A and B are shown apart, each in its own frame.
Chain A
Amino acid sequence: MATKSLLARKKLMAKAEEQLKYLSNGIFKEELPTFKHQLEKINDFPLKPKTLEILQLNLGYMCNQVCEHCHVDAGPDRKEIMTKKTMQQCLEVIKTTKAHTLDLTGGAPEMNPNFRWFVEEASKLGVKDFIVRSNLTIIRANKKYHDLPEFFKKHNVHIVSSMPHWTKGKTDKQRGSGVFDKSIKALQDLNAIGYGLPDSHLQLDLVYNPSGAFLPSNQEALEQDFKKALKDDFGIEFNSLFTITNLPISRYLDYLIASDNYEDYMYKLVDAYNPAAVKNVMCRNTLSISWDGWLYDCDFNQMLEMRVDSPVQHIKDYNEELLQDRSICVSQHCYGCTAGAGSSCQGSVV
């Protein structure tokens, strides 16, 4: 398993333009319909936003893990971190936005040196649902993070954490050696202070994304399997499981190509294309803000450097009304959000 990002290894797929080129050529020149073509068939091109519900802030690409599937290409060697100045600009937007959910992601957002300050300030602004996407192992990574569960509780943070499987082997293969044991310990710590328990208001959700070149199965059935296995084996409880399809970008795209699975995977996504999922794709109710303040339709478009198609492109110029009038940028990676029951940061959408 790699210990450095694609960027540090100077791999071709570290470059957004190379990824987009790869996704637009080959089978999409000759055999398969483009995503734009699918939208045209259902009169949904250009794709337009619906009511804005979620502001997703990427606090930086630095992470204590180097997961095989990571669409951010995050890792300890990534130095892109949101500054306090950009955070202040975000706080100004949070004060006036119509979005009811604030969603902090990374990398490991907790590794941003101003993370706690930002959570304290943002939690004063009356956000209805305040999400932190925590990889769990960060809580056990270093003494300075051991009190994070109490910090999250104090600010009523809704925790969403990745857990690829309920077995050690599959989890460690995707996320690195030792990740399973640390994640289990972190989940037990969170349960101990009330997170994820049936009668508690402290929300703890898990995210499942497949550890390989296949699509996720039914979210409800997988949730039942996860709940039973984690409860029986470790006494762990959680609220909901979100299934997320791996999108063919960054490290996952690199893996698909290297393992000769790219074409089969794209066929699977196109075969599983579900027009009903287009209605609820997350780019229609979300805005993604990068570590350096640029605006995107989603976190995936952020990694592909596809900025919003709007006169307003940076948080310093934020204008919700103008942004809501934009057309959403799409490419073939979007098939990942419309396969089967659909996929989003909140799980399936159909």
Chain B
Amino acid sequence: MADSYYDPKDLRKFPKITDWSQDLGDKFFDYYGKVFEKGALSEREKSLIALAVSHVVKCPYCIDAYTQDGLQRGITKEEMMEAVHTGAAIESGATLVHATQMMKKYDKLSH
């Protein structure tokens, strides 16, 4: 038994989730593949979005995968870090915007 919840080698086993639910697994991977095809956004832009989201949802498998994907596409480390900051800014903004609720409640309950 592994002594860690996350094992980098498990990423290679991702396609195996279909073993226990073929139909849903296939539908997911079809959808996933389609999403990352070139469309209104380039594959490069999608890779950077995926990298930012990977950090926001704190998925180590996704961070490994999309750092490598970015390298393969020639994306620079400066571009990658800016993408992560963009995700972090939205995430921290989502926390901070709740402060308006705190302020509203505070003012309502205070003289």
Contacts and interface: CB of A to CB of B under 8 A. Distances in A.
A167 B79 CA distance: 12
Contact of A267 (B12, B44, B68, B73): B12
Interface in A51-100: none
A315 interface: no
Contacts of A169: 76
Given A225-B44, A271-B12, A170 B72 contact: no
Contacts of A167: 76
Greatest chain A CB density within 10 A among B68, B73, B74, B76 is at: B74
A215 B12 contact: no
Contact of B74 (A215, A217, A271): A217
Contacts of B35: none
Interface of A: 165-167, 169-170, 208, 210, 212, 214-218, 221-222, 225-226, 267, 271
A217 B72 contact: yes
14 contacts: A166-B74, A167-B76, A169-B76, A170-B76, A208-B74, A214-B68, A214-B71, A215-B72, A217-B73, A218-B43, A218-B73, A222-B74, A225-B74, A226-B74
A214 B43 CA distance: 17
A127 B43 CA distance: 40
Contacts of B72: 210, 214-217
B12 to A, nearest CB: 7
Nearest to B72: A217
Interface of B: 12, 42-44, 68-69, 71-74, 76
Contacts of B71: 210, 212, 214
A169 B74 CA distance: 12
B18 to A, nearest CB: 16
A113 B72 CA distance: 38
A102 to B, nearest CB: 31
A210 B44 CA distance: 16
B51 to A, nearest CB: 14
A285 to B, nearest CB: 27
Contacts of B69: 217
A299 B73 CA distance: 26
A271 B42 CA distance: 25
Contacts of B43: 218, 221
A216 B73 CA distance: 7
Nearest to B76: A167
A216 B42 CA distance: 17
Contacts of B68: 214
The 5 lowest CB-CB distance pairs between A and B, nearest first, are: A217-B72, A217-B73, A214-B71, A214-B68, A214-B72
Greatest chain B CB density within 10 A among A165, A218, A226, A271 is at: A218
A217 B73 CA distance: 5
Contacts of A217: 69, 72-74
Nearest to B38: A221
Contact of A221 (B12, B73, B76): B73
B12 A165 contact: no
Nearest to A264: B8
Nearest to B69: A217
A208 B72 CA distance: 11
Nearest to A271: B12
A215 B76 CA distance: 15
A170 B76 CA distance: 9
Contacts of B42: 221
A166 B73 CA distance: 12
Given A208-B74, A222-B73, 16 more contacts: A166-B74, A167-B76, A169-B76, A170-B76, A210-B72, A212-B71, A214-B71, A214-B72, A215-B72, A217-B73, A218-B43, A218-B73, A221-B42, A221-B43, A225-B44, A271-B12
Contacts of B76: 167, 169-170
A222 B69 CA distance: 13
A225 B12 CA distance: 29
A217 B69 CA distance: 8
B39 to A, nearest CB: 14
A289 B12 CA distance: 39
A267 B10 CA distance: 13
